[in-house]
Every structure is written in C-alpha cells, then in structure tokens.
Structure 1
Amino acid sequence: MAIIVGSNNITNVSAATSGEYALKVGGSNNDNLNIDNGSYVVTGDPGQKIELKLLVLNKSKVTRQFTFYGNTAYTTNSGELAYDKTDVKDSSLKYPMRKLISPNKSVFKVPGSTTATLTFHVTIPEKNFKGTLMGGVTVAPYKEKAKGTVGENGTLIKNKFSYSIPVQVHQKGADNAEAKYSVTTVTPNLVNGNDGRTQGVNANVHNSTNSYTGNLTAKAIVTKKGDKSFKITKITQNQQIAPTSNFNFAIPWGKRSLQAGSYHLKLTYSTAGGIKSWVIDKDFTITNDDAAKYNKLAGIKPNYLWLYILLAILALAIILGLGIYLGRRNNNNNKNNNGNNNSGNTSRRRRR
C-alpha cells in the first residue's frame, strides 16, 4: 500500500470526527470510478485492476498508528449494512470483496495534525457476474486502549472507534440482479424489544443474489394456527440488506408469553413508495421446552391460573359429592331408626 503523508489540513474530511480522526474518499471521478456520494462505486472489465485513494486525517497532536482493512459487506441483526468483519460467510457468497481489495490489511502511521493519502486497488472478478458486489474499507486505531467516559448513571463506558467507507463493484455491461429474499428459519430466542431483551423469535432473512435495493420497509405478521385471536405485527423502516447475506430479524412477543404451537410468518418487504415488494411466507413451530426456556430467561413467570381453576372445580366437586353422600347416609340412618322405633311399639302393645 502506497502511503503519502502531507501536512495540509482538511477541514471537510468527514462528518464522523469522534476518536480524533476522520476519513474521506480521495481521487476524482473517471470512467471506472464515481465518488459523488462519498463512497467508491467501481465499474470495470473482467480482470481489470482499478486504483483508489483514501484520505486519513489524524486530528490529534501526536503520531498515531492505524489499521486499514478491506472487508466484505454484511447485514447486521439491526438490518443495517456493515463492513467491519474480516470473515463474512454466506452460502451464496461467491465473490467476497475482501479478496478483491489489495492490500486487504495494513498498519500505517500518521503524524499529528496531518493527512495521509492511502492508495489501494480493487480487481474486477474475471468471471462474469450480474448485480453489485459490496464491501468497504475500514480504518481503526492500532493497539490503542479504549477511552473511558462515565455515563449519567455512573457506569464506565469504554469507546473504540472505527470508520468505514463503502465500496461497490459492477462489471461493465452486466445486468442488475433481481433480489431473492427468503426466510430460512424462525426460532424462539431472547430478542430486543421496546423494553430491552424479551421473549420472541428470530426470522433468518436471506438475500441470495448480488442485489442491493436500498432502504426497505419490513412488515412481519405472525399468526397461530387454530387461534384466530393471536396476531403479532412488527413494522421496521429503512432496513438495508447486503448482497448475498443473511441476518436475524427479531420479532418480539410483547406482553404475550411464548406458547407451544404451530405458527405462520408473513414477511413483506417493499421499496420506497411501495413501487416493488416481496412477500415471504414461512411456517414454524414452538415447542414446550423452548417456550418455557425463553419465557424464564425473559423473566416471565408461568401462568398457573388454569391449574388453580381446575383445582377449585375439583375441590367443589369433592365437597358437593361428599355433601350428597353424607345427606343420603343421614336419610338412610333416619329411616332405619324410624323402622326400629315402630317395631318396639308394636311388641309392647301385644304384651298388654
């Protein structure tokens, strides 16, 4: 990696300035590169190697070391794009961006109050492909201790900053790829809700093509077979799903406890204005063991009302049965006593 260090100050490097450093796309637009949106959009012929530049501004007064990474894009469980993992795996991932960026890892120094220009390359895959390959370049301080700040409740918070700039790669003349969204599994778990971690399910959403559709609105509806009154709805705005990636879309159960049974998920994705949409259906089950496990972890106590009602009914039945039995026995005793009394009176009359 070529590194050019200059003493010039850049006042508009990046909106992100925490950690006393910032990043900015370098270079200019050409036939193979567009940087108008503050990211790298690369278009080239198969096998073509394209040079890119990255500006790193050290805003502190001392020399600092930084690490440069070239990574593959993935989707976080919050439904956001991220570029900070060096090992991204997916069953449909054929062209990891990390392998297309060279070098994909480097350590470099930047003197205080100075801007460094880093030069790296992106190579277009030799095989033909449709759509968009996505990744990013990430810069983070190298072997620096996290700085601590004290929160409002007195908790020590340690911050480690890293910043990324996206990289998109297209092959000249190639068509766009159609998105293919699916739900591979739906499993009970603890998920993030409005009031922290709570009981719910994770729907693993998969995009199996080199497609990127921008901001999406997700609407998840969960129903239970045999129970028309059961319905859970979750709507999430501005989800962004990276090409050939998967993530866990959390659906909290709210105030309801998990119950064993058969369920159905209908997940609808739509682009801005509802111009295009995808509908995904998935059946799943929740077992008694999973329901009990995650209800307990969420702090939900078992509902024994049904047991109390059953015990009350049994107790009432026993009391009524015992009352009827004692009543009948008393009646029989009274009849026997009356019969004995009548026999005694008859004998005495005959003696007279």
Structure 2
Amino acid sequence: MFKSKFKMKFVIALMFTLIISFVGGIKVEAATSGDYTIKPGGNSTDVVNIDNGVYQIEGNPGQTTDIKLMVVNKASDTRNFIYYSSTAYTNNSGTISYDNLNVKDPSLKIQTKDAISPKKSTFKVPGNTTATLTLKLTIPEKKFAGTLMGGVTVAPYKEKAKGTVSGNGTLIKNKFTYTIPVQIHQKGEPQVQPKYSIRTVTPNLVTTSNGPKQGVFANVHNSTNSYSGILSAKAVVTKKGNKDFKIVQSFDSQNIAPTTNYNLKISWGKRALQSGDYHLKLIYKTQGGIKNWVLNKDFTITNNDAAKYNKLAGIKPNYLWLYILLGILALAIILGLGIYLGKRNNKNNGGNDSQPTRRRRR
C-alpha cells in the first residue's frame, strides 16, 4: 500500500454555512442541529487504506473497489441527508475545500468526483441509527502521475438550520457539512513535486479584521498532482523606482491542493494604491522549513484601478499636492505680474528723465 505524502489529520472537514437574519417579534424555530457525524467504514485492504480518517486508494487503471461511508444520526427523529462526491480545490482563504461541484483549472485533467459512484444521492437515516453507504470507486483509466484529491460529503437535506441569538439580537444559523477526503494513486506511477507559480497580480478589495482594504490578489497556481501539506507564506511587494516602498505580509496555514489555483490576498494597509510598476516576491515554506519555493512576478497598477479600489475601500483622494502646485503657480503668476507691472511703470515714469540735458552757455 502506498504511503501517501498527502497525509492530513482526520479532516472529517467540517464546514459551516452561516445564515444571518434579524430577530424582531417573530418567533424563530430551530428545526435541526448538527446532531450527526460521518466516518469511514469497513477495514483497510490492499487497495483501500483508511489512514487518519482519509480514504487512500492505490490500484491499477480501471480497477474498481468499494468504500464504506458511515452516517451516524444522533437525533431521535428520522432525518434526510444528501451525499455528493467532489474534486478538491483551494479556496481564497488558502484552505482545501470540497464544496464546489464544478472545479476548473487549466492543469486539471481528471476530476476526482468522476471516479466515485454515485456522484450524488439523497437518503434517510432513522433516529439514533447508523447507516452505511457503499460507494463504488473506479481508478481512472487515463494514466496520471502523482495523486488525485477529492472528497465525499454529507449534509442535511432540506432542513432548516439551528439558530442561536447573539447578544445584539442577530440570529446566527448553522448548517453542518462533513467531508472525508479521498486520495487516488495509480500503482507504479511516481509521485510528483509541486510546481507553484504566480499567474497574475491584480488590484482588488481585501477583507481584513478592520473591514475591506485596498490591495492586490496574487493568483497562485499548482500545476501538478501534488500536495505539500500546510505551508507558510511571506509576500514582499516593492515598487520600481521607489526604494522606500515595501509591503511585507505573512500567511499561516496555506493548504494548496493539486492542480488548483487560488487568490492570495495582500492588503496595502493604510497605504493608498498608487499607479506604477511593482514586483511581488512570494516565499512558501513547509512546516519546519525543510522545503521552500520562491515565486516572482512583475505587475502594474493603473491610475483607474488605484482610484477605483481606493474609493471602494473608503480612502478619499489626497489633493494636497494639487493645492501646493496651484499655490506655487498662483504665487509665480503674482510675482511675474508684479515684476511686469513694475517694469512698465518704471519705463513710463522715467521716460522724461531719460532725455539728454543741454549745456548752458556762459
């Protein structure tokens, strides 16, 4: 059985969907809660290895196997659930997600979700009962190196979310979704190293704890079927022709899935965006710093983009330079006009004084 470098701690990846509404005089009923969980079922075989709650599959192209998925309903009532398979991707928070059923990437040749059947279905689980789903997984016929990543996800189906009222009168409703990761490797094929690159750097609004800020999105791409584990990242932005300009931002827990791209968001903080040519140096490191990748990208911010995102971030234009320039121009005009008028007045008044004097005869 292959020992995957893709080991992740037991995700059963828990995702919250937050729905916000306001409580007035209306009675709010909480229909459901997250009183259920899922876990891998069955035992490890020569094809399926259940490691830390992750299905690790290794076999020959076209080979099929069963994987067991156990759904534990902790509530007393029968509940409806929906199951779906998905391809892993990296969201713009830098974490691996499984909630997109239409993952796209220029390097993505094989969708992990297509290897699992059924791709999607609904089912019922009686109260205080554990149901076991048997899913069929087919290792893709198409040859590939490295490891494919995806997941099997379960969520309540057509249930209202359970709500709790916060101190300010806001009702926060939670829907609980659980995912077990799936990793597929073809027997005899080599593992591959990550190949990270920065595709584009574009101005945008960056969500921060202090609200939206002006900044840039660096679209980072992993073009291979590889996973390096949790990474730290450091972004350094410099401006060409300005040695005093530097923005440094660090990121923890960046989780880049195979054949995926995501937007790393770099805030300008209190600085306003200014037009010009810039350079981004981005350094990724594995835990412990054993491996690192240094990425570089030149980019340009236009006047229009700077003005647009500064305005959206609430930064008012600074016209001090314009006022100073206008003041200098006004002073120059006044001085010039004064000199001109002085010379003209002097010329007019001194016209008679400039006449030659006659000598008196003795």
TM-score, shorter chain, exceeding 0.5: yes
**Partner Cα distance (1:15, 1:266) in 2:** 32
The residue type equivalent to 1:58 in the other structure is N
**Partner Cα distance (1:83, 1:285) in 2:** 33
Asked if 1:311 is matched to 2:326, the reply is: yes
Structure 2 residue corresponding to 1:135, chosen from 141, 150, 153:
150
How far 1:156 moved relative to its partner?
A: 2.7
How far 1:282 moved relative to its partner?
A: 1.1
How far 1:118 moved relative to its partner?
A: 1.1
How far 1:333 moved relative to its partner?
A: 5.6
**Partner Cα distance (1:36, 1:100) in 2:** 20
The residue type equivalent to 1:100 in the other structure is A
Match of 1:170 in 2: 185
SS at match of 1:130: coil
Match of 2:202 in 1: 187
Match of 2:62 in 1: 47
Report which stretch shifted further, 32-41 or 247-256: 32-41
Structure 2 residue corresponding to 1:245, chosen from 245, 255, 260:
260
SS at match of 2:70: strand
Runs of 5+ consecutive residues of structure 2 not aligned to the other structure: 1-11, 16-32
**Partner Cα distance (1:151, 1:231) in 2:** 41
Structure 2 residue corresponding to 1:272, chosen from 268, 287, 300:
287
Is contact 2:13-2:179 (8 Å) kept? no
**Partner Cα distance (1:196, 1:113) in 2:** 44
SS at match of 1:35: strand
**Partner Cα distance (1:16, 1:93) in 2:** 25
Structure 2 residue corresponding to 1:223, chosen from 238, 261, 272:
238
The residue type equivalent to 1:150 in the other structure is V
Match of 2:251 in 1: 236
Asked if 1:197 is matched to 2:204, the reply is: no
CA shift in 2, pair 1:315/1:72, >3 Å: same
Task: Indicate the RMSD between aligned Cα atoms, in angstroms.
Answer: 2.4
Match of 2:164 in 1: 149
Length-normalised TM-score, structure 2? 0.85
Q: How many residues align?
A: 332
Asked if 1:61 is matched to 2:76, the reply is: yes
Report which stretch shifted further, 14-23 or 152-161: 14-23
SS at match of 2:153: strand
Match of 1:21 in 2: 36
The residue type equivalent to 2:83 in the other structure is F
Higher helix share: 1
SS at match of 1:289: helix
Is contact 1:84-1:164 (8 Å) kept? no
**Partner Cα distance (2:109, 2:313) in 1:** 39
**Partner Cα distance (1:212, 1:152) in 2:** 42
Match of 2:223 in 1: 208
Match of 1:37 in 2: 52
**Partner Cα distance (1:282, 1:77) in 2:** 19
Choose between structure 1 and 2 for higher RCO, CA contacts under 8 A separated by at least 6 residues.
2
Asked if 1:289 is matched to 2:304, the reply is: yes
How far 1:339 moved relative to its partner?
A: 8.3
Identity %: 66
Is contact 1:220-1:267 (8 Å) kept? yes
Structure 1 residues 255-294: Cα deviation after superposition (integer angstroms, max 9, x where no partner): 1111111111111112122211211111111111111111
SS at match of 1:77: coil
Report which stretch shifted further, 169-178 or 98-107: 169-178
SS at match of 1:149: strand
Runs of 5+ consecutive residues of structure 1 not aligned to the other structure: 1-13, 347-352
Is contact 1:193-1:254 (8 Å) kept? no
Structure 1 residues 313-335: Cα deviation after superposition (integer angstroms, max 9, x where no partner): 11222232333344445545654
Structure 1 residues 206-234: Cα deviation after superposition (integer angstroms, max 9, x where no partner): 11110011011111111111111111111
